[in-house]
Chain A
């Protein structure tokens, strides 16, 4: 069974760094891109970026480039999303999702349970 298991909820202060994780089970982790999707409180879904765990090739949303870093450790089937300096506006639920190839692109077929990040002084 395919599963993506994310790390637990985090509370942090503005300016702090943070790294959350997403571990894949039940499939070949290097065969599928992993995407990160943000959901701010009461809002919709926003794609942040994606990584190919096999070669760590990354793509970022232009609106978020430079604000976060996506990485992966294929030896432990885990992808990461990290911030070097959090802001209150980073408060959101963050989902990782496996990407499946369609003819011309990739959709998100399996999702992690989400990680709530709260940034508050």
Chain B
């Protein structure tokens, strides 16, 4: 099983500032990495796939980078609606998809 580890568990950032979220895989997943945003009471929403490709309708302030085992989600200038929980997910091994434990992005 590929284990996905996200850091930090909680990130406190002020509106307008940059947020950087990390995701590390226990084994290489190439670029088969997606990021999701989840707000309370809502289903997850796809932000990024292929490690760096924004999904349809996702604002340009969201960007993804990395390959292999190290990945980053960057939100360039935080808006109020961006405060949520973010999950990474590998789909390199499709016998066993795995998610990270999540990073909660909160208002500082």
Query: Complex Cα distance A47/B55, Å?
Result: 20
Near B by CB (< 8 A), chain A positions 32-59 give 35, 37, 44-47, 59
Are the C-beta atoms of B32 and A46 separated by less than 8 Å?
no
Report yes or no: B96 in contact with A45, Cβ–Cβ below 8 A.
no
> Cβ of B98: which chain A residues have Cβ within 8 Å of it?
47
Minimum CB–CB distance for B86 against chain A, Å: 11
How would you classify the secondary structure of chain B's contact residues: helix, strand, loop or mixed?
A: loop
The answer to whether A44 touches B45, judged by C-beta atoms less than 8 angstroms apart, is: no
Interface magnitude class on chain B: 20 to 34
User: Given A62-B96, A114-B43, A45 and B87 touching (CB < 8 A)?
Assistant: yes
Binds B, one of A23-31, A70-78, A82-90, A98-106: A98-106
Q: Are B96 and A111 closer than 8 Å at their CB atoms? A: no
Nearest chain A residue, comparing its CB with the CB of B91: A105
Q: Does B89 belong to the interface (CB within 8 Å)?
A: yes
A7 within 8 A of B: no
Residues of A within 8 A of B (CB): 35, 37, 44-47, 59, 61-62, 95, 97, 100, 102-114
Residue numbers of B with Cβ under 8 A of A are 1, 30-32, 34, 36, 38, 43-46, 49-50, 55, 87, 89, 91-102
Additional A-B contact list (6), CB under 8 Å, known A45-B87, A106-B94, A107-B46? A44-B102, A97-B44, A104-B92, A108-B36, A108-B89, A111-B44
